[in-house]
Structure 1
C-alpha cells in the first residue's frame, strides 16, 4: 500500500506559477529554437480545435483581444476560424497596430487574410455565439479596471458560452483568486503547462473544464523547472491484503471528541476510520454519550472519559489519535487535547482541536492539521478573505508555523508537507458543503495512518478519496448530500 501511494504522489501533474511558465516559454524559444510566433500559432490551433470539439455545431465566433500575447492567441483563433468558413467578429480592446512582437505578427496575418477588428465593444453587446476570451493572460498582477473590467462584465452578462485562452481573464494564475473581476468560462485551454491558479481558490467557478495544450514541446520539458505544486490524479487501485493478517495488523485509531450535544461528529469520524480499513477504532467521549454513540455501529468501542487521567489507558493502546470532531473548547476539551498532543502519537487535528491550537501555538512533526479557511485564518492570525486570496501561501505558512502536514480544505484542497510540492486534490463537489464532511475526512486520514501510511501520503490520498466518495454519492444530486452518505462509498472506492 505504501509503495502504491508513493507512486501515486510521484505521478502527480506539475502545477506552475505564471513566471515559471514564462521561463519555460523562453526556454522553448531560446534553447530549443522554436519561434515565438510558431508557439502562438500552435496555441491558437489547439484552442480552435478544442472549441470545435466542444461546440461542433457552432459556425460563428466572437473573439475579444487584448494588448498582449493573449490577444495574439485570439487573432490566431480568429484567422483559423475565418479559414474554416466561420463568421467571425473580433473586438480589440487595444489598438492592434500598437501590439508588439509575436502578437503584432499574429494580428497582421489575420488582417492580411481579410480579417477586421472593431475598436470597442458596442453599447449593446448581444452576441449569439461562442465567445473567445483573449483579453488578459497569466501576467495579470493587479485588479482589472476600466475598459477591460467593462468587457469582462459584458462577457459574463451575455449568457453565451466562453472559451478562455490560457486562463480566464482577470483570474490570478498563481492563486486562483479573481482580481476584481474575472471571466466565467465553460472551457479553458491552457498552454505549455498547467498553472496552479486553475485548480484552487475560486478557480472552479471561473475555469470550467480545463485542457492542457503542450504545443508539441518535447516530453520532459517541464523538468527544466521544478514545480512547487502538483495535481493529484485518479485514485490508484490498492493491492490486496495479505491473507494472514488480523485486526492488529491494521492499527488502532482513538477518536477523541463529542462534547455534550455533538456526539454525531465523533461517530461519523470514527466510522470513517473503520470504513477505510483501520483494524480497531475506539472513541473517547463524554460519559453521557458512551452508551448510545455506537448504536447502529457496534464495532466502535466507545468509552466515557471525563478527565485526562481517564484518557491515558486508551492512549496507551492507540497507534493514531484523531481529535477535534465535536470536541468543543471547554476545560474538558483542552485537557484531552493537551494529553493527546503530549502522548507523542501520530495525530490528526480538526475542528475545535485547531481552535485550541490557535489559542496556544505549538509545533509537531507527526500530526496532520485539516483546517477550513476560517480555522486557517485563526491559526495564522489572518482573515478568511486573506486565506482565500492566497491559498498556496496559506498552506505553506501553516506547515512552516505548526510543522507536520497541513491540509487546507475547500475547492482545490491543498496538502503541504515539510518537503516537496503542495498537492492539490480536485475531487469533490458543492454538495459537500454541509455539516460533518470534515469529520469524515478526519476519520479517513486517521484510518489510513493507522494502516502504516506516512502523514503526507495519508493526507493527500485521504483528501482525494474523500472527495471522490463525495462525487460518487452526489450522482443522485448535490443538494441534500449528507456526510454519512460518503461512508459506504469510501469502502467501494478502496476495493475497486
Structure 2
C-alpha cells in the first residue's frame, strides 16, 4: 500500500494562470441537504468555494436558501424539487456531488436515479453519504454510469455497500469488493488514515488526528474533492491531494486546538493552498 505524504500537494496545487476566469476552475453542483440536515449542504459547498472552485451551485430544499445565501454568498441555489432546473444544473456541471445530508426518502431516491441516469462521460460524479446508503438499499448498479465515479463512504457506509464488516475491510477484501461493485470507480474508505482504491492501486494518507472526529468533517472533505477535481481534472493524484489537504490543514489546526471544527478547516484552505502554490512555483 502506497503512503501519501505532503509531496502530493505540490504535484497538484499550482499557481493560477493570470489570464483566467471563474469558468476555468470548475462548475460544481452539490445536491445535498434536507429539512433535518441542512448543515451538510452548507459545509460541503463552503469547502468547495474556499478550496477554489470557480462556480458552485447547491441544489437543496428551498427552506435552506436563506442560510446558504447568507453563509456562502458565492454559491448559487436551486430547488431540487424543480426537476427542470435540477436537470439543467446536472447537465452544465463538470463535477456533480450527491448525498451530503440528503436523507433517504422517496424523493432523495429519485434524485439519485436522476443523477445516475444523466451523468455524462466528461463529468465526475461524487457519491457520498445518503446517496451511498440509497445505492446499497436499492442495490443499484454503478457499472453502467459513464461518468468518472468517486465513492466516499466511511466504514459503516462501506459495510452497507460492500457487505464487509469493519473487521473484514482489509486491503484485499476492499479491492475485490470495489472491483465487483464498480470496477472503474475510485473508492475512498474514510477512517483514521483513510485509504484510496483505484484500478488495482491502493494508497493511504499519512495525516489526520483525533480532533477531526466531529460532525461535518466528511461533508467538508467532499467539497474539497469536488473543488480540486473541478480545477485540476479527475485523476488518482488529484483525489489523493484533496484527501491529504483535508487532513494536512486539520493537523495544523489541531496543534493549538482540542477539536478541529469543519468551519475552522474551511477558513484555512485558501491560505494553505496559496502557500503550497507558491512553493510549487519555486520548484
Q: TM-score range by the shorter chain?
A: 0.7 to 0.9
**Is the aligned partner of 1:427 residue 2:202?**
no
Aligned to 1:414: 195
Matching residue within 462, 465, 476 for 2:245: 465
Cα distance, 1:294 vs structure 2: 2.3
Aligned to 1:491: 270
Cα distance, 1:287 vs structure 2: 1.5
Task: Choose between structure 1 and 2 for higher RCO, CA contacts under 8 A separated by at least 6 residues.
Answer: 2
The 1-side partners of 2:176 and 2:74 are apart by: 39
Q: Which runs of 5+ in 1 are unaligned?
A: 1-228
Conserved? CA contact 1:367–1:455, under 8 Å = no
Q: Secondary structure at the match of 2:70?
A: coil
CA change 1:361–1:455 in 2 (3 A) is: farther
Conserved? CA contact 2:78–2:85, under 8 Å = no
The 2-side partners of 1:489 and 1:291 are apart by: 24
**Is the aligned partner of 1:324 residue 2:99?**
yes
Q: TM-score, normalised by structure 2?
A: 0.88
* 1:101-180 correspondence to structure 2 within 5 Å: none
Q: Secondary structure at the match of 2:56?
A: strand
Give the alignment's Cα RMSD to 1 decimal.
Answer: 1.6
Aligned to 1:369: 151
CA change 1:288–1:470 in 2 (3 A) is: same
The 1-side partners of 2:176 and 2:82 are apart by: 33
Cα distance, 1:398 vs structure 2: 4.1
The 2-side partners of 1:370 and 1:297 are apart by: 24
**Is the aligned partner of 1:386 residue 2:164?**
no
Cα distance, 1:489 vs structure 2: 2.1
The 1-side partners of 2:249 and 2:174 are apart by: 24
* 1:189-204 correspondence to structure 2 within 5 Å: none
1:340-375, Cα deviation, whole Å (9 max, x unpaired): 122223111111111011122322461100111101
Aligned to 1:438: 218
Conserved? CA contact 1:349–1:368, under 8 Å = yes
The 1-side partners of 2:172 and 2:99 are apart by: 25
The 2-side partners of 1:455 and 1:295 are apart by: 33
Cα distance, 1:269 vs structure 2: 0.3
1:267-288, Cα deviation, whole Å (9 max, x unpaired): 1101111111110000000111
Q: Secondary structure at the match of 1:278?
A: coil
Matching residue within 239, 242, 248 for 2:17: 242
Aligned to 1:231: 3
CA change 1:458–1:308 in 2 (3 A) is: farther
Which shifted more, 287-296 or 297-306?
287-296
Cα distance, 1:307 vs structure 2: 4.7
Matching residue within 243, 248, 264 for 2:39: 264
Conserved? CA contact 1:259–1:285, under 8 Å = yes
The 1-side partners of 2:207 and 2:83 are apart by: 38
Q: Secondary structure at the match of 1:347?
A: strand
The 2-side partners of 1:284 and 1:248 are apart by: 19
CA change 1:352–1:246 in 2 (3 A) is: same
Conserved? CA contact 1:269–1:325, under 8 Å = yes
**Is the aligned partner of 1:402 residue 2:182?**
yes
Q: TM-score, normalised by structure 1?
A: 0.51
The 1-side partners of 2:172 and 2:262 are apart by: 29
The 2-side partners of 1:318 and 1:398 are apart by: 29
Q: How many residues align?
A: 263
Q: Secondary structure at the match of 2:224?
A: helix
Aligned to 1:346: 124
